[in-house]
């Protein structure tokens, strides 16, 4: 898996103060996508073990981890995202994971990754369906709380 960037002290991608990782790789090709540079899964930098460890260390000082892109659930990203989620929850069992994906939740509900994710924002971006709902890009997207409050 490659990634484009990550933010620490992020206040806009989920509740609280978060670490937000933007991976590369997305097959959804939403019209009006805010981040087309991340479609190519070869773009960005390799998410090495060292990069993962650095990111996880940042999470000690934040409320949770947010996974965005690109699509963290691009088939080529799933193994690395699963391992990241597993390690995050092992180290920070009281903290949460939010995940944005262009898939419908029903398409990915059976993935092992979902055993670790607390909140999913699902569905393709629809430029024709603007929204004022927090954390969503368009009104068709759902915020689904899988566990927690």
* Interface positions with ligand SF4 (CB under 6 A): 26, 28-30, 33, 35, 38, 69-71, 102, 124-125
**Closer residue to ligand SF4 (CB): 15 or 138:** 138
Asked if residue 71 lies in contact with residue 101, where contact means CB atoms within 8 angstroms, the answer is yes
Distance CA 129, CA 140 (A): 7
The least CB distance from residue 43 to ligand SF4, in Å, is 12
Grouping H, G, I as helix, E, B as strand and the rest as coil, residue 119 is strand
**Closer residue to ligand SF4 (CB): 35 or 80:** 35
The least CB distance from residue 50 to ligand SF4, in Å, is 26
Beta strands 2-10; 18-23: pairing state: antiparallel
The least CB distance from residue 62 to ligand SF4, in Å, is 23
Q: Which residue is nearest to ligand SF4 (CB)?
A: 102
State both tokens at 71.
């699509």
> DSSP for 52-90?
HHHHHHHGGGSSEEEEESS-TTSGGGHHHHHHHHHHHHH
The least CB distance from residue 51 to ligand SF4, in Å, is 20
**Closer residue to ligand SF4 (CB): 92 or 105:** 105
């Amino acid at each position: 898996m490659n990634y484009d960037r990550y933010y620490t002290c992020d206040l806009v991608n989920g509740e609280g103060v978060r670490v937000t990782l933007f991976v590369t790789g997305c097959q959804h090709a939403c019209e009006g996508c805010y981040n087309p540079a991340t479609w190519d899964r070869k773009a960005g930098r390799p998410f090495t073990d060292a990069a993962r460890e650095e990111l996880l260390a940042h999470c000690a000082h934040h409320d949770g981890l947010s996974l965005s892109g690109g699509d963290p659930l691009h088939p080529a990203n799933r193994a690395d995202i699963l391992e990241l989620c597993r390690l995050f929850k092992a180290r920070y069992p009281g903290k949460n994971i939010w995940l944005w994906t262009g898939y419908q939740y029903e398409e990915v509900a059976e993935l092992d990754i979902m055993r670790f994710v607390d909140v999913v924002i699902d569905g393709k971006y629809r430029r024709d369906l603007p929204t004022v709902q927090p954390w969503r890009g368009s009104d068709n997207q759902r915020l689904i709380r899988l566990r927690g409050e």
